[in-house]
Structure 1
Amino acid sequence: MSPRALAPALPFALPHRSAVLRMIAVWQQRRALARLGDAALADLGLTRAEAEHEAGRPFWDLPA
């Protein structure tokens, strides 16, 4: 069954391809942020706690 045929049965709209690609990019960036060392975080002006908080956000929680 095609995605278009399933769409009316879904209680929500399927995200567009660009939105999915953005979510993947944000997820990858947050994973990279979590792997940074303390010196790199200091260069960015972030604490370890701030980086862990940002990295722990769900991938669908996109920045505005």
Structure 2
Amino acid sequence: MTQIAVHNPCPPRRRFGLTMLLDAFSLRRQRCTLARLDARALEDIGITREQADAEAARPIWDAPEFWQK
């Protein structure tokens, strides 16, 4: 059996172009949907109306940190 050992793995590629644009539109769509949820749905996911409104008001370039990795 042959084994290959990688001592210096390549760093992850940065995301460019169309992928970033599609992610930004997706994030905007999700935030708009969050803003339209009623009180019962917000209670189901465990956030308040104020938290939902604050998240929905964020600009599209203010993405969650885990998206930027």
Q: Does TM, normalized by the shorter one, top 0.5?
A: yes
TM-score, normalised to structure 2's length?
0.70
Q: Name the residue aligned to 2:18.
A: 17
Deviation at 1:16, TM superposition (A): 1.1
Q: Name the residue aligned to 1:38.
A: 39
Larger radius of gyration: 2
Q: Name the residue aligned to 1:27.
A: 28
How far, CA to CA, are the matches of 1:43 and 1:17 in structure 2? 34
Give the structure with the higher percent helix.
1
In the alignment, is residue 47 of structure 1 matched against residue 48 of structure 2?
yes
Aligned residues: 50
Deviation at 1:50, TM superposition (A): 0.1
Q: Percent identity?
A: 42
How far, CA to CA, are the matches of 2:17 and 2:64 in structure 1? 17
Deviation at 1:28, TM superposition (A): 0.1
Q: Which runs of 5+ in 1 are unaligned?
A: 1-14
Deviation at 1:46, TM superposition (A): 0.4
TM-score, normalised to structure 1's length?
0.75
Q: Which runs of 5+ in 2 are unaligned?
A: 1-15
Deviation at 1:30, TM superposition (A): 0.1
